[in-house]
Structures are given as C-alpha cells and as structure tokens.
Amino acid sequence: MVSMEEKEINIHGFIIKYSETCAEGIKYLQYDLQFREAKTLTDAARFAGTAEFEDDQDRDWTLIYEKDTGKYKLVKRNWE
C-alpha cells in the first residue's frame, strides 16, 4: 500500500514508489536511463536489496527492492 505522500510510477516496466522529495531522481530514471540501464539498476537492487546511484547533478539516490510487493522505492541519500 502507498502512503498519502508516496506516489507510484511505472518506469520501463518497473513500479517505483517515491515521495515528492525524490522527483528529480524519478526524472533521471525516467528520462536519462534507457531500458537496459534501468534493468541493470533494478536487478542490482533486487539481488542485493538496494542499489545506489548518482544522477547528472551529483545527487545521491538509493533504489530499494521490496520483496513483499515486488516494487522498488527510491530514496535520496544525504551526504555531509
């Protein structure tokens, strides 16, 4: 189930949950990655539980695989 502030989007056939604070990461996944690149990232998250990546503006993201739903969740990593 998706919370009130969480949204879901289908990107290249993968369902990704995210909050509004992750909109830039969603744009990167949706418009900058081709299917093969997205598949590599989602496969890594599915096998390891998470996959970390960086977008073109050096923002850090983590894609989390949720085994119980088969969906992914995008979260922003904040480094200091």
So what's the pLDDT on residue 1? 53
Closest CA to 15 of 56, 55, 47, 46: 46
Could you state, in order of their start, the residue ranges of all structural domains in the chain?
6-77
So what's the pLDDT on residue 3? 58
DSSP per residue over 6-75, as a string? EEEEEETTEEEEEEGGGHHHHHIIIII--HHHHHHHHHHHHHHSEEEEE-TT--EEEEEEETTTTEEEEE
pTM beyond 0.85, yes or no: yes
Please, are residues 41 and 54 in contact by the beta-carbon 8 Å criterion?
A: no
Report mean pLDDT in 10-residue bins for the chain, 80 residues. 79 96 96 94 98 94 97 87
